[in-house]
């Protein structure tokens, strides 16, 4: 069991190591805790690469889904740690910030491997508690405090609804593990069980930020520090997608009354609502981080649309590829916005005027990431959207699943509308005139390295034409 959970154990020990380093390092030299956090992430990544597959007492399953989610979570966390170490202005707060990021990653990995309602709840709550603190990290900033408070209030409500559903699900089926719940539902599935199952899924929907559990995202993204948003908008989504797919594949096949078309209808409706609402709301936003927040809702909708294509053999691989493409572009864009926000005091569109003149390379990188999020070829976002479109259209040709064809049209429409929102940021940063500004200081080496890695990943994924096949093969080995 220790070998199966070695990456999680490394992260748990790493959280304690960073807190100990905070106590031992003198004031002014606490930046060493950031290096400890990065070393912990690299160690956990190596442990995940060398780890074996198996299950832990019907609580956790280290299968193909978890094996894919682990490196995704760790790489995203490592990138945010590298950028955050350079952007943190207060040296004494860096250890606690690093520990929170490691705790967020630990909760995400537990969630991604969960096969039981208890382990699922523990993983989601560990992510939530770390996320609350990260969202409200700037204690003296009113916007950050407001973001943290809204995240706590909405997160607490989502947790309460989820626990209500979980308790009723256990009372009605007598099981806490996914497989046992599926077996109980296969014998009888009254309306009360369906309602409990939907309520229990609220926590996952909240982490994905899909409609109708999206309402917190714009305000939280706009008010929270951009570096924290890079973690909050990426890491929980990876975990939520992994456990959602596992729940569908474990529970629903055992229920004869639930056909693929039945759950596909529900997921398609959520996907279409998320895609269209995010697109229309983004074009009227006047803050770059708020536009990125609405885009996160839309990208979550595209991922849900890929999952709605199940049991298509390529649906999971498509969702995984989309997550990877979204993660590198989203982290890169938010790191760019973090630098501009720190220097200009705001990420509003009017505050970004003249960014190209002051920071040409940073602004160029920002445009690259935004173009990928918009789906411009040959970047990763284009290939990811094409994969989702292909899966939806292919599955939509099956009897009773024509709704996926209409959902794919919503994906095309939202992509075109969202592109205009991204162009608003590009226009403000590149074309808007601005008075002469002082020469910007040289970009920190860690920040530059993160942007280079994200840019390389955005381009490389866009050229990885057999990526869907390779990911499917990796899942098959699980």
Q: What is the pLDDT of residue 478?
A: 53
% of the chain at pLDDT higher than 70:
92
CA-derived radius of gyration, the chain:
21
Most confident of 185-199, 290-304, 427-441: 290-304
Q: What is the pLDDT of residue 123?
A: 93
187 Cβ partners below 8 Å, 6+ apart? none
Q: pLDDT per residue over 44-56, tens digit each?
A: 999 888 877 777 8
At 348, the pLDDT band (50, 70, 90 cuts) reads: confident
Please, where are the H alpha helices in 283-359? 288-308, 315-344, 355-358
Please say if the pLDDT value at position 373 is more than 90. yes
Closest to 17 measured CA to CA, from 3, 35, 4, 1? 35
Please say if the pLDDT value at position 455 is more than 70. yes
pLDDT-wise least confident of 216-220, 377-381, 385-389, 462-466 = 216-220
pLDDT-wise least confident of 364-373, 392-401, 437-446, 451-460 = 437-446
Please say if the pLDDT value at position 22 is more than 90. no
Q: What is the pLDDT of residue 89?
A: 53
Where in 147-239 does DSSP place strands (E)? none
Instruction: List C-alpha distances in Å: 475 to 116, 125, 317.
Output: 21, 27, 8
**Cα-based torsion angle of the residue sequence 67, 133, 299, 70 in order, rounded to the nearest 10 degrees:** -10
Average pLDDT over residues 324-353: 89
pLDDT-wise least confident of 187-196, 210-219, 303-312 = 187-196
Q: What is the pLDDT of residue 4?
A: 80
Q: What is the pLDDT of residue 456?
A: 96
Q: What is the pLDDT of residue 382?
A: 95
Please say if the pLDDT value at position 90 is more than 60. no
pTM: 0.93
Average pLDDT over residues 364-374: 94
Average pLDDT over residues 195-199: 84
Q: Are 295 and 334 in contact (CB under 8 A)?
A: no
DSSP state of 428: I
Domain edges within the chain: 259-478
Bridge partner list, 116: 177
Cα 152 to Cα 144: distance, rounded to the nearest angstrom: 12
Q: pLDDT per residue over 211-243, tens digit each?
A: 888 888 888 888 888 888 899 989 999 999 999
Q: Which two tokens mark 188?
A: 């009888």
* DSSP H or E run through 62: strand 60-62
Crossing angle between the packed helical segments 117-135 and 142-173, to the nearest 10 degrees: 170
DSSP state of 431: I
Average pLDDT over residues 381-385: 94
Q: Which two tokens mark 252?
A: 């629903």
Could you report how far apart the first and last alpha carbons of the chain are, in Å? 17
pLDDT-wise least confident of 227-231, 261-265, 420-424 = 261-265
């Amino acid at each position: 069991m220790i070998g199966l959970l070695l990456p999680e154990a490394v992260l748990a020990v790493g959280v304690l190591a960073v807190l100990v380093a905070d106590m031992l390092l003198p004031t002014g030299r606490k930046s060493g805790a950031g290096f400890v956090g990065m070393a912990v992430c690299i160690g956990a990544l190596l442990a995940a690469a060398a780890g074996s597959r198996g299950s832990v007492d019907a609580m956790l399953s280290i299968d193909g889904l978890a094996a894919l989610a682990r490196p995704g979570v760790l790489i995203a966390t490592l990138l945010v740690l590298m950028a955050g170490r350079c952007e943190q202005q207060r040296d004494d707060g860096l250890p606690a910030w690093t520990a929170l990021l490691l705790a967020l990653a630990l909760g995400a990995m537990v969630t991604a491997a969960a096969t039981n309602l208890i382990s699922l709840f523990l993983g989601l709550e560990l992510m939530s508690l770390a996320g609350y603190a990260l969202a409200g990290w700037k204690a003296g900033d009113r916007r950050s405090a407001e973001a943290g408070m809204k995240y706590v209030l909405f997160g607490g409500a989502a947790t309460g609804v989820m626990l209500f559903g979980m308790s009723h699900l256990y009372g009605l089926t007598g099981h806490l593990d996914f497989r046992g719940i599926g077996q109980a539902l296969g014998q009888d599935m009254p309306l009360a069980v369906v309602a409990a199952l939907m309520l229990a899924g609220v926590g996952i929907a909240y982490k994905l930020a899909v409609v109708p559990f999206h309402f917190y995202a714009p305000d939280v993204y706009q008010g929270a520090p951009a570096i924290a948003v890079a973690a909050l908008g990426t890491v929980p989504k990876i975990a939520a997608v992994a456990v959602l797919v596992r729940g569908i594949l474990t529970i629903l096949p055992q229920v004869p009354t639930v056909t693929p078309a039945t759950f596909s209808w529900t997921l398609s409706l959520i996907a279409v609502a998320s895609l269209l609402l995010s697109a229309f709301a983004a074009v009227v936003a006047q803050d770059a981080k708020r536009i990125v927040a609405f885009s996160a809702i839309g990208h979550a909708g595209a991922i849900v649309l890929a999952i709605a294509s199940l049991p298509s053999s390529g649906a999971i691989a498509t969702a995984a590829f989309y997550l990877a493409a979204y993660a590198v572009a989203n982290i890169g864009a938010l790191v760019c916005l973090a630098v501009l926000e720190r220097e200009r005091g705001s990420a509003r569109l009017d505050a970004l005027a003249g960014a190209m003149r002051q920071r040409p390379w940073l602004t160029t990188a920002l445009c690259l990431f935004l173009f990928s999020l918009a789906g411009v070829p040959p970047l990763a976002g284009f290939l990811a959207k094409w994969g989702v479109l292909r899966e939806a259209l292919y599955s939509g040709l099956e009897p009773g699943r024509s709704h996926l064809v209409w959902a794919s049209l919503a994906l095309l429409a939202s992509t075109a509308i969202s592109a205009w929102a991204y162009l608003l940021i590009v226009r403000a940063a590149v074309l808007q005139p601005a008075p002469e500004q002082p020469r910007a200081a040289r970009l920190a080496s860690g920040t530059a390295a993160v942007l280079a890695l994200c840019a390389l990943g955005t381009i490389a994924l866009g050229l990885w034409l057999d990526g869907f096949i390779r990911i499917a093969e990796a899942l098959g080995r699980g």
